Amino acid sequence: MVVPGLETVLVKTLEKALTGATTQVGKRLWKNRLSPEARRNTANAEVIKRLAGHDFAGRLRLSVVLPELSTGISLAQVKAVLGGLTFQGLLHELVAARLTGMSEQTVRGVRENVQLATRLEFPQADGDKMMEFGGVLFDELDRVVRDLVGTLEGEQGKGLAEIRQGAAVALLSTGADSIRRHNAHLKRTETLAEAAAALDWQADYRNQINTAHGYIEPPDFERKRKVPIGSLFVSPRIAARDHESPVGDATSLRQAIDRSVLLGDPGGGKSTISNLFAWQSANEADGLVPFVVVLRNFVDNEQSVLDYIEFRLASHYQCPAPPAVVEGLLLSGRALVVFDGLDELLDTSRRREITNRVELFCARYPLTKVLVTSRRIGYEEAAMDPDVFDVYELAEFSDDNVAKYVGNWFVHVDRTDEQRARALAESFVQESAAVHELRKNPLMLALMCIIYRGQNWIPRNRPEMYEHCAKLLFEKWDSSRQIYVELKASAYVDGAIKQLAYWMFTDEAATSGVTESELVREAVTFLEPAFHSRVEAEQAARQFIDFCRGRGWVLTDVGTTAEGETLFAFMHRTFMEYFAAYELTRRHDGPEAVAKAILPRVAAAEWEVVAELTVQISNKHSRDGAARILTTLLDAKRFRSAVSRRNVTSFALRCLGFIHAPVPLATRIGQAFAESLVRFSAEHRTIILENFSPLPELQQAVENGISTALERALQSDRTTDREVAREVIIDLHRMLTGNPHSEIDPNDPDKWAALRRLLFSKHSAAILGEQHPTIWFAAWRQGLISLEELVTSGPSTIGFPLDTLFQDKLYKYLPGGWVDWGSFIPIQLLMADLDTRENFPVTEDELDWLGGFIDQLGAPPWVSATSVIDQTPGAEGELLVEEFPSDAGWTLVRLMLIGIEAAGSQFHLQRYNLKSRAYGSALVMLAQRREMGAELPGWLADAIDSMAPDRRELVWAWLNREVDFVQRPV
């Protein structure tokens, strides 16, 4: 007997799961497999958009499936299993196999996977019966997916063929192999007892993850203290590089992870977010099983990622996995793997090797979700494949983030009573406003809180911060009365810790931690001259190391080896980098020698923090030390390739954000940077976005240098130099602030924008003269020309001037661009409940002008070639039909109808709710009325009839296909 209500639950659950699978496959093909050229192809785009927007409602016929379902299974069980991660992965396999045209043998493998998984997911039911149910269920799902693919073949045959021939090659090989291995794994799990053991292990492992990753250990020179991660963590803003992913914070990033990279600054919270995601996943009983791979520890060339994960499960988490269980999770899409700290591999070639291994891991386990974290600076030197990985960037703390974090810190770390904690937090926030840049970094903010708690004082810069932290450590050591020789050892400890840091930083094997015996041996080497014998030096070294044990401050114990010997490491990598930088300045006599020592690393975009700190430290100890280092770097005859020169000049320009250089040197750096930017971008066909913030007193000097170089590039005989210069000038603010989604600096909201306006006003003829559509459109979006100038004087003026609003505008060198603004404008201005309307950059005057211009065009069609995208996803606000009778409403309605006609089958084949007044539903209703003669709901027909007679007649003529707004291809 079938459980009452089972069919409804089953249908809704499977429809949702199918939609999720087609959306994920479509996203991977669109963002990760298709080349930029293929993405611009309309036929390819149609296939992907149809996949993402396909509605499976009413497609499934489960009357033949339900009788095969074993009795004794509850509604909750059915919903949990068929809506869970295992079946989501299986549906992904099915959709990928059918869409990319894999062999029938591979499809049969997916069918068997569904059968085996069904038997294992319902262990209490009759095994043979569940195998039969799985087979019948697969056949019905396969029928629905084949119907979808058949529809695509009929309507979008060209696009689907191109995808199969080009973009899907990787999916065909790796996907088919993964399906075969998944099948072999499911067959290898022979008994239900093994499946039960695997579930028991997962529960134990989730508990261990909670213990290992559910806490933050804030720095503290008194003692180690664990704070629940949920009590202290504050998410900064997170932005996607591609502008398309709606990610705003850690929560939305976690939901978006597929093949993802998270970039941030040192101490910016990357590892904390890795721990957060592991902890959150572990607390979801049916969620992804998290595995964290700390890349600085993953150094064995003979070890696979799978082997390393299993090794860490046994050695670190004390939770060895049953045989084949981890691979089963990876194959079935039930795992999240976080590769933390790509930047901590110092050597670029080593980073590239690890990058390749991670990419091969992703190819081998296509259903596994993967996140890679890295520092922003140096990432491009060994970047993950941009055709596979989405890149997200951590912003700095906003003022609101700072206030929230500080409040959390004084309550949960300092454990102060609530009233006193609130008072301390308020005073700290007020007093730290003077070092606004320093407190934007979460690590620096935590250290500032510690110092403020004990000293009621706030450091002014990073070196001062690190120096004071070290001073606190040494003072605590003095007061502990554990110094072996009175005062003599403490005088050498400062030098010893710098020596230890330099050794650990430059020796890759020591970076992640060293044993106590190794630490003692290295410390004794430095301390021995201060004592009468090596024995005394060793006793002093051991006393210092014993003091560090158990304190999360600067240098501390972090665990043990397999043999039980204590491992030591610096509390945070930036502490090690500070002391290493200090030691480097002591080993090389004078700023010029220091510059020559760091040059190879700077040219390779390595040692970023150490190099910056050596500049600051040298400036403190040598007259004009910073200026002498930067001058030596610029004058160097070595490392003159385009890549090396760009890295050197970018480093110099970043240094102007924290050192007071002579004005002529700042101008020279600005010019050298812009020259290297043009050269690099022309050779490598890309412009890398980066954030530069020179000190206010140096801003004008830097701008003068940049201006000189860009003006020369505009006049160059080389076409590529002129192209790069045009794009750089037109989008200078975004290029030099790095993150297009970053908050405007309230202290300098117009930084770089003024220079852009100046350069454009002087060279508009050269910038616009070659009639490049993207440059013209960008000039309008940046407020450099009016909409009237774009439409009447731009590249689309001949024939169909409105085309410029309905076509993709992609940069040649810069990432991104714009898509189909013609359809986007009415979404923003004709849809209710949008917070962005007030700040939408199309003014009322521009809208009035545009309406009058369309009136003057005469009878339609008004546009020709278009690249309109489906605007229905997310367009859930009500259509503002009350705007229809107005002049502005008439302009917006025409833009909306042009978009519908240009989009074609994207709209009229979709399902909609007849009672819904949502903007997206209205688009579909209008499309189906025009394409299929469907009746409009009364409210929408009444809205059209409320318009002036001539306007109303034109809309109904369009709906009846008596007139076209878009010129049909000949």
What pLDDT does 167 receive?
A: 46
| Cα dihedral across residues 140, 141, 145, 146: positive or negative | negative
Contacts 24+ apart (CB under 8 A), 477-485: 477/544, 477/547, 480/547, 482/543, 482/546, 482/547, 483/540, 483/543, 484/536, 484/539, 484/540, 484/543, 485/531, 485/536, 485/540
Per-10-residue mean pLDDT of the chain, 970 residues long, equals: 63 80 72 46 56 67 65 74 85 84 86 88 81 88 86 62 53 69 77 79 94 84 77 90 70 90 89 94 90 84 88 92 92 93 78 89 91 88 86 90 92 79 89 85 86 82 80 58 44 80 87 86 87 87 77 70 80 86 95 97 93 94 95 96 96 95 97 97 90 92 97 95 95 78 45 89 93 92 91 81 87 85 88 62 88 93 73 70 94 93 65 74 89 90 96 96 84
- The residue type of 781 is R
Instruction: Report the alpha-carbon angle 531-533-534, nearest 5.
Output: 100
Residues ≥6 apart with Cβ < 8 Å to 336: 257, 277, 278, 281, 288, 289, 290, 291, 368, 369, 370, 371
What pLDDT does 50 receive?
A: 63
Are the CB atoms for 382 and 355 separated by under 8 Å? Answer: yes
What pLDDT does 654 receive?
A: 95
What pLDDT does 730 receive?
A: 93
What pLDDT does 481 receive?
A: 38
- The tokens of 385 are what? 């494949």
Alpha-carbon separation of residue 428 from 218, 405, 407, 421, 455 (angstroms): 18, 11, 10, 10, 12
d(CA 361, CA 330): 10
Q: From the CB of residue 400, how many other CB atoms can be counted at a distance below 10 Å? A: 10
Count of alpha carbons within 13 angstroms of residue 463, beta-carbon side: 17
| Cα dihedral across residues 636, 639, 645, 649: positive or negative | negative
d(CA 696, CA 780): 29
What pLDDT does 894 receive?
A: 96
Residues ≥6 apart with Cβ < 8 Å to 129: 68, 70
Name the CA dihedral angle for 40, 46, 49, 53, rounded to a multiple of 10 degrees: 170
C-alpha closest to that of 170 among 385, 363, 321, 40: 363
Which secondary structure element, helix H or strand E, spans residue 515, and what is its range? strand 514-515
